Structure 1
Amino acid sequence: MKALQGVNGQLEWVQTPSPTLDVGQVRIKVAAAGLNRADLLQIKGHYPPPPGASEFLGLECSGVIAEVGPGSSWQVGDRVCALLAGGGMAEEVVVDGRHVLPAPENLSLAEAACLPEVYATAWLNLFELAAIKPGEKVLLHAGASGVGSAAIQLCKAFGNPVWVSVGSAERLAYCVELGAQGGVVRGDNLAGLEAFAPFDAVLDPVGGNEYAALNLKLLGQDSRWVLIGVMAGRKAEIDLAQVLGKRIHLLGSTLRSRDEQFKATLISDLAQQVWPLFVEGRLSPQLSRTFPAEQASEAYATLESNQVSGKVVLVIDPQLQ
C-alpha cells in the first residue's frame, strides 16, 4: 500500500507492507484523512510518533471497514472514522476497534475525516479535564482552528458562552457565526479580551510568555487553564501569586501519547454524548478545503499558512466518497 511520510521537511508517498491485523482491531480502507498541526511538527522532526505507533502521517481518517479481527463488533462495509496515533495518510490503516466511530449518516466520508481528532481534543480538555459546567465562560485561543471550531460548537451545544482570539477579522466573523459570543484579533487588541473576563476556563494551544501573562489576568477564581500546545514558545514567566490567589488549575494535556484504554473510554464518551448531535444538525464538521492525495504538499502548506478556518482534508480514495 501507499503511505505518506514526512522526513526533514519533505513529504513523500512510499510503498510499504499493509499492516497486520490483531485481536480487537479493524482494517479500514481509507477514504480521506484530516490534517493537523501535529503533522506539521512531525514533518519537521519535532514531534515523533509515540512508541509502537505508525511512522506515517495522519491522526484521523475516515473510510470503510475492509477486515475485522476477532473480538470486534464492527462489520465489513461499515462507514467509519477513527482516532489514530499515526498512519492515517495511507491507503489502509489498522486500528483498535474501540477507537473507531461511525461516520455520521448525514455526512460524506471527507466530512467525517474532520471529526475524530479535533472533537476528541476539544471534549477531553474542556469537558473532562477542565470539567466545565453549563453557564461557565470559556476562552479559546486560535478559535478558528480545527480544534477551536469543534470547541465553539460543543460549548454552544452544552450551554457555555465562549469567546475567542483569532488572526483576522474574517476568522472572528467565522467564529461568531459558529456560536462564539465575540473575541479579538490578536494582532490588533489581544488585551481587549479583558472586557469579557473573568473566564472559568481557557483552552490554550499557543503558550509563550505573552499569552501566559494574559491568561493569568483573564482567568477568574477556581478557573482552569488547559495548555495543549506551544505555538508561541515553550517558555514563559508567570506570576505564581496570581495562580495561588485565584486558585488556578494549570493543566498540561496531550492526546496522541495516551494509552489504548484511555482513548477507548474517550471515544465511548464521544459516541454517547457528542456523536448524536451531528445527526441532529447541532454540530458540523467545518470542512474548509479538500485536496487530492497527489497534492499533499499543497494541503499542508495551506494548513501552515494560518489562513484556513476549520479543517483541511486529504482525499485518499475519491471512489469512497
Structure 2
Amino acid sequence: MATVPENASHGCPGLESTDAGRASACAGCPNQSICSSGAVGSQEDAAAQLVAERLKEVHTKILVLSGKGGVGKSTFTAMLARTLADKYSEQNFGVLDLDICGPSQPRMLGVQDEQVHQSGSGWSPVYIEDNLSLMSIGFLLSSPDDAIIWRGPKKNGMIRQFLSEVDWGTLDVLLMDTPPGTSDEHLSSVSYLKPTTGKVGAIIVTTPQEVSLLDVRKEISFCKKMKIPILGVVENMAIFECGKCKKSSEIFPAKTGGAKAMCKEMEVEFLGSLPLDPLITQKCDSGSTFAGIKESALVVLSQICEKIESYKNN
C-alpha cells in the first residue's frame, strides 16, 4: 500500500507518479531511493492498516486547511463543529486538532481543563456535547504554556497515534483542524486517510487580500495533486460592521476580487463569506457556544453544513 513519504518537500511528485524519486524536487530527500524503487517500509504499511481499522466507523473525514496562519481556520473549525452538532443533533461529530505546535481547539470549545483517558480501546476523546467530541495534544500537556519543540518525524508520529489510537466510536463527520501550509503534517495525514473507508474531503479557509489568496492557490494545488476532493473555499473576516454606527468596512480589501474571483479562476466552489465579528473572538476566548453572532455568519455556516451533508450522502 503506497503512502506519501514523510519529510517530503512541497514539490514532491508523490509515490503514484512515474517521476517519484527521479524529479528535481527529489534531490537531497532522504526518501529518494525508497520512492524510486516503489517500496515502502512495512512499519508504515502496518500503521496505515491500524488507521484504516480505527477509522472504519468514521464515515466522512474533512480536512480544514489554510495557506497562511492567522486567517481564522481554527475559529472556523470550532464554529462549524458546533453548528453541525446543533443542526444535525441525531448525528455524531468529532474534531481532531492536528495543529501539534499550536493546539487551540480545547480553549475554543471550552474544555481546556479536561483530560483524556486511556483504556484498552484507546484514548477517549473529550465530549463538548452529547454528539460532539474533541481530541487535541493540548489535553496531554502539563501546562498550556508548554512549548512543543518537535521535528517532523515526531509530529508525524503523534498524528499517526491520533488517527490510530483515539476511540471515536461511530462518527458521521470528523473535522480535522490542520496547521497552515502544505508540510509534513498534511502529507502524513493524507497518506493515512486515503486508504480508509468512507470519504475524505477538504475545506479551505482564506481572507480576502491577495497575500492570503496566493498561498490558498498552493493549498488548492496540493489537494488536486493529492486527489483530495475540495468541498470549497470559505472567505473569513470579509466585512467588519461597526457596533455603534453600523457602517461596514473592508479590513482586508479584496483588490483582486477576493476569494470568489479566485475560486472561479481555480475552478473550485466558493462556500461564502464570514464577517469579522468581535463577538466571535469573545466566544472563542470563553469557549462558549456561538449563539448570538451575526445572522449572515449563521446562514453561511448552515449552508456549509448542508454542503458537507450532501457530500457525505452522495
Superposition TM-score, scaled by structure 2 size: 0.30
More strand by share: 1
Larger RCO of the pair (alpha carbons < 8 Å, separation 6+): 2
